[in-house]
Amino acid sequence: MAVEVAKIEIKSVMDASGLGELIETGRFKADEVVAVVGKTEGNGGVNDFTRILSDQAYRAVLMQHGTRDEATVKAIPMVWSGGCDGVITPHATIFAETPKTGTKGKARLSIGTSMSVDLLPEDIGRLAMVEKVADAVRLAMKDAGITDPRDVHYVQTKTPLLTIEDVQAAASRGNTCACEVHSSMGVSNGTTALGVAVALGEIEMPKAEEICRNLDLYSSVASCSSGVELTKAQIVLMGNRDGAGGRYRIGHSVMKDALDIDGIYDAIRNAGLELPDRPRASDLGGKVVNVFMKCEADKRARLRGRRQIMLDDSDVHHHRHSKAAVGGVAAAAIGDPCVFVSVDAMHQGPHGGGPVIAIVDVGE
């Protein structure tokens, strides 16, 4: 099965018309959709209900146009990142597996998914979570038909975070949690990223005291999200596989800091698009489907030697500052404000920077 990829704008909070149009025009069938990764226009916080609204709208379209039952459609991985700060446009990237074959013998985009065993509240921020996530990533690699970790370029995850009820449940078992509720989103993301890095051989198994502390340990391909709707780690893994068919390739690099536009172009080159030494958006020829990246404020409050104040801002959270800044750089790089930029990037790329993944259309 070849992977088909399409990016569509979300025109209003509950709009999924673009997905319906792609199905109706025959780009792919509703039953062929295997994953969705999107940006919604809410605040990006715990109470960002725009993620739920988009999720409901997209699953409703798949139910309307397809033959899969409700339980199957509910199990399709959909990762919604809230918050379109700055110039970022609400949008979704759709991934479908189709019978198209494309050019045989060429390495093309392949997707694998998996779910981990249950993650207990007391696992979050600890080695048990690293190990469970790593096992799930290896299963997703197998599902994608990828044997060499170097061929993996993007691992999008969704994992649980803590609620008050979770903390109480752990205490009833005589256990403690590694962090407080309000910090559990970042800790869950960071611990998950270490699991990705271990599974792909980017790092050795970390020491317990290094989790969410030693920021020199990171994955260059992990993009981690967390929420209250899961008790397991949901893994969507993408890489290039010989004979996969289709017309798309994926690549990655890292942004060393929030201004590292060269890191974005390096990811596009890594995906297979030839670029001049000093590229600009007009050199891309419409071949870039989308770029996906993680970022967060540098805790040293410096950027290329200059003082930064986003960590001191009491009016606007630093996540929104960094998302808007990196979103602007990414939009300028590809000439399109429909870019996927997510925050809470602990252990995801270098400190102050983050992973950047590019999907390009290389033709049949």
- 264 φ/ψ angles, rounded to the nearest 5 degrees: -65, -45
Annotated active-site residue 299? The verdict is no
Q: Smallest Cα–Cα separation from 98: which of 4, 34, 24?
A: 4
- Beta partners for 82? 40
- Taking the CA atoms of 261, 150, 286 and 19 in sequence, report the sign of the dihedral they define: negative
- Taking the CA atoms of 69, 70, 75 and 77 in sequence, report the sign of the dihedral they define: positive
Cβ atoms of residues 125 and 211 within 8 Å: yes
Distance CA 186, CA 205 (A): 20
Choosing from 158, 287, 294, 323, which is the catalytic residue? 158
Annotated active-site residue 158? The verdict is yes
- Beta partners for 157? 224, 235
Choosing from 116, 225, 226, 253, which is the catalytic residue? 225
Active site residues: 158, 225
